[in-house]
Amino acid sequence: MISVLMSVYNESKDILGKSIYSIEMQSFQDWELIIVNDNPENKNLSMFLEEKAKNNPNIKLITNKKNIGLVNSLNVAFRMSQGDYIARMDADDISAFDRLEKQLSFLTYGNLDFVFSNVQSIDETGQASKQAVLPERNLLDNQKIRRVIEVSDIAFHPTWLMKKNVMRLLNGYRLVDSAEDYDFVIRSLRSHFKLAYQGEVLLQYRYRLDSISRSNGLRQEKINKILQKGLSDQKNWEEWSLNQVRNLRIDASEEHKLSNILQLGVSFKRSRKLGDMVRLVWNIFLYPKSVLSITKRILIDKKIQQIFSI
């Protein structure tokens, strides 16, 4: 059985319903969906989830007494899991109907421990992009996976499928602010589990402007740089990295400026409108330090393409 872990906080019933439905309609039917409601004060959300669990015995609902955050909620769900495999799903994404079947086959026949797949992006309205986010070519070698992870986290969290033993031996997620998934992947590589990237698109990944600005901000850059030290087999990295993240201090005004520019960049990339381009260029002019961050992102994309092409 595959245990699918999902944490819910403030998603709309429409978006959440589509996400749950995409698991219910899987071609592989030996699954349990463990949903953790991390927003117990939202009565409409609670009622919606209770109805879903009532109508499908494969859905297990856990309601936190108070908000405890994504990491703690996922660890709660893991402790309740009964499957031999663990999969992740976000409350606003949509799995392909054969995602679990294909990922389990990919993992089993490749004698792998932990796999993740390509995605297609969708926006707030559900409009899907025409292209996959990453190259549609499998990466089966831990060395190549490590080389890509050194520059960027390509392991989209809601596409994960792994043997339960991986999460058990790593003791679940660590409290690493906004980067618990990147941290988990790096710890998996350090523990010599066999990882692989499945180039086929098996999930529609929802990009929201607010989440993009948070996840790609200055703080995120610095946390990722700290975590990447773990790929060099640095001794005592686990303790050192947690201390570094806890003690990290970011200039709030710089964080806001960079996040705003990244958000404008996403808007222009989607719309290609002159007005969006002018706003982007003007804000870059006002905050020239952002050029370095933008350049880094361009170089990272090129580096990923190079590794996939080898």
Asked if 129 and 177 sit in the same domain, the reply is yes
Q: How many CA atoms lie within 13 A of 138 on its CB side?
A: 10
Q: What radius of gyration, in Å, describes the C-alpha atoms of the chain? A: 19
Q: How far apart are CA 168 and CA 184, in angstroms?
A: 12
- Domain boundary among the residues 208, 232, 264 is at 208
**Predicted confidence band of residue 215 (pLDDT cuts 50, 70, 90):** very low
Which of the listed residues 167, 184, 208 is the one where a domain comes to its end?
208
For residue 211, pLDDT beyond 60: no
Please check whether residues 126 and 19 belong to one and the same domain.
yes
Indicate if 225 and 201 belong to the same structural domain. no
The total domain count for the chain is: 2
Judge if 104 and 161 occupy the same domain. yes
Same domain for 240 and 201: no
* pLDDT confidence bin for 210, thresholds 50/70/90: low
The pLDDT assigned to 128 comes to 80
Same domain, 173 and 221: no
Whether 40 and 167 share a structural domain:
yes
Whether the pTM exceeds 0.75: the reply is: yes
Q: Domain containing 81: what range?
A: 2-208
217, 252 in Cβ contact below 8 A? no
225 in the same domain as 200? no
pLDDT > 70? residue 299: no
Residue 84 belongs to a domain with what CATH number? Answer: 3.90.550.10
- Reduced 3-state DSSP string for the chain: CEEEEEEECCCCHHHHHHHHHHHHCCCCCCEEEEEEECCCCCHHHHHHHHHHHHHCCCEEEEECCCCCCHHHHHHHHHHHCCCCEEEECCCCCEECCCHHHHHHHHHHHCCCCEEEEEEEEECCCCCEEEEECCCCCCECCHHHHHHHHHHCCCCCHHHCEEEHHHHHHCCCCCCCCCCHHHHHHHHHHHCCCCEEEEEEEEEEEECCHHHHHHHCCHHHHHHHHHHHHHHHCCCCHHHHHHHHHHCCCCCHHHHHHHHHHHHHHHHHHHHCCHHHHHHHHHHHHHCCCHHHHHHHHHHHHHHHHHHHHC
Question: Domain end: 177, 208, 239, which one?
Answer: 208
Based on the fold, state whether residues 202 and 224 are members of the same structural domain. no
Same domain, 190 and 304: no
Q: Are residues 11 and 107 in the same domain?
A: yes
pLDDT confidence of residue 17: 97
pLDDT at 189 over 70: yes
Task: Answer yes or no: do 176 and 240 share one domain.
Answer: no
